[in-house]
Structure 1
Amino acid sequence: MTSSSIQHLWPNTTEPGDQTAEQRALAALRQEIDQLDDEILALFQLRLAIADRVGKAKDAPQGPHVKLRPDREQAVMARMMKQADPANAEAVEALWREIVGWGLARQGRIGVRVWAPVEPTRAFDAARLRFGAAADLRAERDPRAALAFAAEGHGVAVLAINAGDPWWRGLRDEWSTLSVFEGFGPSSTPTALAVGLIDPAALPKGRRVVVNVGGDAGDGSGARRWGLDTHHGWTLTLVEGALTPGGPEGCVGAIG
């Protein structure tokens, strides 16, 4: 192939005079994207630096709780989603989960142990979306190993429900220091729950998670209830009501 033929197929577009109007318009758009990328990078690195400062402020004695503020994350996400174009909602949520996750990682990467004997890939995907790529996600074969990991303050556990193991009963006795702070799956009937040593004051606003003896028909308060699992007279339930974690009602946490 001759040199002139090659130039015909791949013309030299480095000189503005050789470009078509369409090519010049595309080059201008790409330059605009490059400028935005520079601004985004600068702002992201500034956010990480501020997250470092927040992490140092959190180093003041606050008990054994992990450095997670589900209430703060919930508020940030709600504010972002309110401003986002509905067409971009999914992308904005995923992006902000990553931003928040990498900010938390500046305070120490969070470990996440996942127990999901049924559809483990779906559980992993949900956990990855929630905690971001910065989190150290690993599978556990035994839900009690995941609970022990969380109870020792190393990170959090994501555990399937209705999977043949009533691990959630332990949230009323041997794992009573742990709190549920997130649900995964359908909003009305989540298929997995996240638990950790969460400061009760930092739990998200939303339905309370209750573990108690008896049915899930309610206690006469009129609060709406959703039964999630049962075992030998014990029930795992979502309740709309201002219940106190660790109180006599059997509240073990909350999900947004």
Structure 2
Amino acid sequence: MQICSEKASSLDLLSVVVASLSDGYGLDSSTGDAFVENRLLIVVLSIVIVVLVGCVAIFFVWRSSGRKPVEPPKPLVVKTQMDTKEDQGKKKALAEEAKARYPNVIFKVMDIDEYATEDDEYEENLKKESLALFFLATYGDGKPTDNAARFYKWFTEGKERGTWLENLQFGVFSLGNQQYEHFNQQYEIVNMNSAKHIVQVGLGDDDQGIEDDFSAWRELLWPELDKLLQDENETGASTPYIAAIPEYRVVFVKLE
């Protein structure tokens, strides 16, 4: 018995497969013979199909790579320690205007005392922030308000933290009175470590007129936030927005 030492070619294997399929599906022998005789054509067509599929795949990969990945909304945290209704109105007005300007941005407005339940959480939470605005206030001779006392104690008495805030960009509007011995000292405390200012600090002076100071600071803030938060596909100026900020009330009391 003579054993053939020659290896079967790909075309021979394809011929066998086609012949088997024709027998299995009840096709007549002439149909199978036709496939076998045109096996070269079948192979050519198969190669063409593979090439076309590859080209389509490459096209979609190229198209998707050319698109800029959609970035998740950037959070903007507005932390406040203000106590009076007038001061709370400033924070609320700023947050509402920011939401109108940057509809795709996530805003979190919270009291600084509620930002962490335990002192150790302050550092853990702040490290996660990329952009924050602080509204600070002082009273008496420049001390922090009651709802910020725990934060300031942790911040000033804690361990040396080095560059732990290097990823944070922030802005500060501080309220005080030049009659205090330490005017807006709380801002100086927060102005530590390696965090980056996005706008110069706003120093509100209750002795002169906080409303004017706050309005001037807001005008400096919006252009800087536009650079960070405005969608690149948007053109033109931001949506105009006029926020109603409660003014101080003057009450005349008639003495008996």
- TM-score, length-scaled by structure 1: 0.26
**Higher strand proportion (structure 1 or 2):** 1
- The structure with the larger Rg is 2
